[in-house]
Copies of this chain bind each other. A is one copy, B any other.
């Protein structure tokens, strides 16, 4: 596999390098809710049988209400990554793609390795309206930069005039539903919204995401993925959790985010951006800080392409905030 990207979550590798039992590490390298809700009961038949249409349909209806996609029934997919992999097949081979950059690296890796010509653009205004496919992660990972919905819709309309698609990845948008374009897809056949289930709900192991797009696009994705693409347990758990009131989860995420923000501010670090699920620190010594925290068995996320950045995910509780604060205190005092 060419150009494989090192993502967060590599606690095993970090522990092999810096010592300690992986279970004792504090993993701040991902952008996951560290306080997932209790796992709903999963009926035996969900494990034993193939996931049937009625189960799938229940999940899609729950997702429609949760994401506010109106007439569109979101398509359940085995993680957003599974449809990122398919974007090259949606692309018009003769046209360039554009990615609002820097952002989540898998878009660039997948589109480029498929042979497409890809422009990394810094602003929406820099997008060539003749692009066949434009990707915007909103809010962005890892910068947290947020594009106003109106500006994205204008871009979608400009692209539509020339037959191009706009893909908006809202993986980190569950705490800010007012920024979502999910409700706008029904009237814009060239707009595709990706939603991630595992981040907000802290259940990344399930492998579940949703695509909100016009029926013909959803049918193409469904056709490429084939039947039974999503596991029964993922559908069952998601139906339950998407049907529950999201405010308690938003509240605890907000509390955890505030705790992280305080620790980073107290340490005098420069928080340059972030979302509800992570903070991005800019520091000329980011690589050394990463290593310093590893020695305290705390894993953060560094970026090959931006050596001054360090991304901090949320810690699960106040005690873990203090553990991070203690490790940062010895850094500040070095």
Q: Which residue of B lies closest to A2 (CB)?
A: B223
Q: Which segment of A115-123, A129-137, A197-205 sits at the interface?
A: A197-205
Query: What is the total number of copies of this protein in its complex?
Result: 2
Q: Would you list which residues of chain A between 9 and 35 have a CB under 8 Å from chain B?
A: 9-13, 23, 27, 30, 32
Interface presence of A1 (CB below 8 A): yes
Interface presence of A79 (CB below 8 A): yes
Interface presence of A192 (CB below 8 A): no
Judge whether A50 and B204 touch: CB under 8 Å: yes
Judge whether A106 and B206 touch: CB under 8 Å: no
Judge whether A48 and B204 touch: CB under 8 Å: yes
Q: How far is the CA of A11 from the CA of B50 in the complex (A)?
A: 11
Task: Please report A residues at the B interface, Cβ cutoff 8 Å.
Answer: 1-2, 4, 7, 9-13, 23, 27, 30, 32, 36, 39, 45-54, 78-79, 81-82, 84-85, 106, 110, 113, 198, 202-207, 219, 222-234
Q: Which residues of B contact A78 (CB under 8 A)?
A: 78, 207, 229, 231
Q: Which residue of B lies closest to A203 (CB)?
A: B47
Interface residue from B13, B32, B224 paired with A85 (Cβ < 8 Å): B224
The 6 nearest A-B residue pairs measured at CB: A205-B232, A12-B54, A85-B226, A207-B231, A1-B223, A50-B204
Judge whether B48 and A203 touch: CB under 8 Å: yes
In the assembled complex, the CB of A267 is this many whole angstroms from the nearest CB of chain B, namely 26
Q: Which residues of B contact A204 (CB under 8 A)?
A: 48-50, 228, 232
Judge whether A53 and B13 touch: CB under 8 Å: yes
Q: Which residues of B contact A231 (CB under 8 A)?
A: 78, 205-207, 231, 233-234
Q: Which residue of B lies closest to A54 (CB)?
A: B12
Judge whether A228 and B207 touch: CB under 8 Å: yes
Judge whether A52 and B232 touch: CB under 8 Å: no
Q: How far is the CA of A42 from the CA of B226 in the complex (A)?
A: 27
